[in-house]
């Protein structure tokens, strides 16, 4: 595997994605928590950073822990840090070095830059630049404004590049990553979803033996794929629970339950609608609603898991982005962690935790799901928030409002599917607003609710653009909603991007 040392760059996860796309396993570790260098680790990549190596408390790593032992690639800050630590000089750039540039390659060894075109386009994004390099550094590429665009240290497999091969604007970045990971580090490209499934099932069998595992499923991709893996490893010793919180999409509870049964999972559906509606009664603050839903869920799950005798493990669909220790480059506080007070937790939380997907990115989870033969309609589903429709009904929640929103949402989502637009958007849903507006129907004046349709395009939900859906589609959906859903007389479309807006309205 490849170890990526994170200095806090927004692009660190992209580096990991690029390495994984080469079918090579890699892990991200914070710069101040370098793990033991095992023989498995074939190379180290130092990420970029929002900091400057000239800052007094600049994030730092002792290069001797890995340099000359395994190949090293410093990207941007990583390259500058190595240059500075080994006797070179880094200064603020005269002009901002940002955007596309052309590489002029002068790489005698032709190792890191092998196979790149003579004037490869790369993406620059840095405020500092390397101005002098130690004697044993060889410049292997320059651009018009950056002399030390890439270097190699003589007699060792240590490289630095001041551009970002991991972003798509570096058009041959993939070739560079391949050169480093496969050629220079010698990693075998055998980390595929098939090998992941095989190895994970084998290691789950060893780990879990004859123990019983309980898992809450949500109908979402992650928990479904995680449960399928555990199920294939231990069969009926996996006990799944699917809770109807009354805040799901129309008919979703039954559909999801049916598909879980169809997949052969040992699943119990729990109708807890009334408990959730009771817990939400009168609450209008979004965070208060989230807390009430979280607590109600824990109560239901605790009660249900007690009904399973002798359960030892809690299975979870946690994925890699949730567990990557985030780097705070603002000092040592990054290493201080608060410890949970285990005494006050519900019983199921005291179980040992098994998280088979905690090394995977979202698209890798989908690939694994495909390998496992999970229904593509489950794998291709839009993300849906845990608190469900409760955070799409602005203001207080009543079963009547939920019913209205379910109808409207079903028309919108059904329309997206009918018009083949469902997979064009990353997420879609409808907000029921706490306003009424005047309308006319026949000769009557109406005074009814307004709904806002929301559809976004995105990669990971961190940023998003509103989806430019066709007017004809919006017209049809709007008509359908107003004609068919009693209580709604106006439909609006949300044209805000994130940031500054968010995807949900609460
Ligand atoms: P925002 O609204 O922050 O949403 O742009 C980003 C993504 O997160 C989802 N989301 C939630 N998911 N519990 C969840 O499980 C929540 O409380 C929650 N709030 C927002 C949202 O649907 C989108 O995919």
| Element holding 132 (H helix, E strand) | strand 121-132
Question: What are the beta bridge partners of residue 5?
Answer: 29, 46
Rounded to whole angstroms, how far apart are CA atoms 201 and 411? 40
Residue 481: CB partners within 8 Å, gap ≥ 6? 408, 411, 412, 451, 488, 491
Between the CA of 462 and the centroid of ligand 1 the distance, in Å, is 10
Domains of the chain: 2-184 (3.40.50.880), 193-321+349-379 (3.40.50.620), 392-493 (3.30.300.10)
Exposure string of 388-402, with b = 16+ CB inside 10 Å and e = fewer, is: bbbbbbbbebeeebb
Q: Which residues are annotated as a binding site for ATP?
A: 218-224
- Cα of 402 to ligand 1 centre, how many Å? 18
Instruction: Determine which residue's CA is closest to atom 3 belonging to ligand 1.
Output: 502
How many C-beta atoms lie closer than 10 Å to residue 307's C-beta? 11
Which atom number of ligand 1 is nearest to the Cα of residue 504?
2
Residues with CB under 6 A from ligand 1: 290, 383, 385-387, 427, 461, 498, 502-504
pTM above 0.90, yes or no: no
Given ligand 1 and candidates 461, 463, 498, which is best to mutate, with the most ligand atoms within 8 Å of its CB? Answer: 461
- pLDDT tens, position by position, for the chain (506 residues)? 999 999 999 889 999 999 999 999 999 999 999 999 999 999 999 999 999 999 998 999 999 999 999 999 999 999 999 999 999 999 998 876 788 999 999 877 779 999 999 889 999 988 899 999 999 999 999 998 899 999 999 999 999 999 999 988 899 999 999 999 999 999 999 999 999 999 999 999 999 999 999 999 999 999 999 999 999 999 999 999 999 999 999 999 999 999 999 999 999 999 999 999 999 999 999 999 999 999 999 999 999 999 999 999 999 999 998 888 767 665 433 333 344 444 567 888 889 999 999 999 998 999 999 999 999 989 999 999 999 999 999 999 999 999 999 999 999 999 999 999 999 999 999 999 999 999 998 888 999 999 999 999 998 888 899 999 999 999 999 999 999 999 999 999 999 999 899 999 99
The CA distance from 303 to 297, in Å, is 10
């Amino acid at each position: 595997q490849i170890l990526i040392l994170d200095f806090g760059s927004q692009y660190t996860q992209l580096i990991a994605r690029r390495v994984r796309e080469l079918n090579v396993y890699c892990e991200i570790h914070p710069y101040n928590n370098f793990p033991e260098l095992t023989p498995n680790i074939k190379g180290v990549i130092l990420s970029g950073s929002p900091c400057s190596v000239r800052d007094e408390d600049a994030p730092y790593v002792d290069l001797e822990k890995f340099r000359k032992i395994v190949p090293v690639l410093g990207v941007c800050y990583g390259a500058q840090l190595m240059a500075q630590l080994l006797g070179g000089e880094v200064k603020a750039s005269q002009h901002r070095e940002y955007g596309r540039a052309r590489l002029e390659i002068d790489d005698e060894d032709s190792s890191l830059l092998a196979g790149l075109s003579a004037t490869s386009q790369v993406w620059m994004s840095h405020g500092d630049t390397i101005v002098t390099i130690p004697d044993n550094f060889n410049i292997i590429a320059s651009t018009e404004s950056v002399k030390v665009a890439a270097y190699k240290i003589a007699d060792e497999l240590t490289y630095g590049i001041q551009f970002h091969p991991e972003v798509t604007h570096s058009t041959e970045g993939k070739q560079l990553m391949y050169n480093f990971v496969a050629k220079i580090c010698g990693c075998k490209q055998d980390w595929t979803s098939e090998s992941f499934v095989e190895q994970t099932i084998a290691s789950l069998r060893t780990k879990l033996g004859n123990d019983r595992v309980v898992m809450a499923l949500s109908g979402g991709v992650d928990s479904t794929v995680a449960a399928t893996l555990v199920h294939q490893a231990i069969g009926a010793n996996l006990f799944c629970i699917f809770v109807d919180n009354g805040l799901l999409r129309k008919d979703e509870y039954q559909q999801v339950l049916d598909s879980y049964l169809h997949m052969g999972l040992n699943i119990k559906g729990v109708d807890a609608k009334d408990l959730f509606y009771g817990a939400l009664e009168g609450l209008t603050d979004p965070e208060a609603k989230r807390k009430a839903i979280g607590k109600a869920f824990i109560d239901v799950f605790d009660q249900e898991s007690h009904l399973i005798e002798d359960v030892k493990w809690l299975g979870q669909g946690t994925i890699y982005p949730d567990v990557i220790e985030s780097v705070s480059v603002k000092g040592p506080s990054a290493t201080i962690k608060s410890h949970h007070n285990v005494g006050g937790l519900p019983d199921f939380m005291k179980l040992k935790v098994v998280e088979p997907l905690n090394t995977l990115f979202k698209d890798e989870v989908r690939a694994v799901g495909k390998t496992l033969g999970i229904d593509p309609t489950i794998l291709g589903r839009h993300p849906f928030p845990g608190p469900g429709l409760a955070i799409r009904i602005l203001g207080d929640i009543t079963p009547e409002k939920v019913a209205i929103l379910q109808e409207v949402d079903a028309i919108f989502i059904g329309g997206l599917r009918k018009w083949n637009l469902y997979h064009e958007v990353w997420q879609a849903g409808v907000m029921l607003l706490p306003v009424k507006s005047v309308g006319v129907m026949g000769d009557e004046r109406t005074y009814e609710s307004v709904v806002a349709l929301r559809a976004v395009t995105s990669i990971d939900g961190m940023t998003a653009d509103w989806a430019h859906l066709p007017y004809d589609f919006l017209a049809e959906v709007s008509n359908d909603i107003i004609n068919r859903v009693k209580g709604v007389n106006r439909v609006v479309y949300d044209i805000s991007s994130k940031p500054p807006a968010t995807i949900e309205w609460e």
